[in-house]
Amino acid sequence: MKEHAFNCPYCYSDVSTWVETDQFKQQFIENCVECRNPLEMIIDCMYGSINNVMINPIAQ
């Protein structure tokens, strides 16, 4: 598991999430810990490292 830091697209706070790097392709929804708005996370991992992270706001 590795921590990935990013800026929330809603409140622009510096936040982070933990990523299971043994799964190649992941997609899940997680709320921002600061503003509680939903974020879609699409993460690509390979050989224990994070290759690509897309964080998209979800329209409410």
What does the pLDDT read at residue 59?
Answer: 81
Q: Give the neighbor-by-neighbor strand order of the sheet with 25-31.
A: 25-31, 38-46, 49-57
| Cα 32 from Cα 24, distance rounded (Å) | 23
| Sequence ranges of the domains in the chain | 2-57
Q: How many residues in the chain?
A: 60
Q: What's the distance, CA 16 to chain centroid?
A: 7
DSSP letter, residue 22 = T
Report the amino acid identity of residue 38. P
What does the pLDDT read at residue 29?
Answer: 96
What does the pLDDT read at residue 13?
Answer: 97
Q: pLDDT (tens digit, 9 = 90+) per residue, 13-45?
A: 999 999 999 999 999 999 999 999 999 999 999
- The pTM is what? 0.84
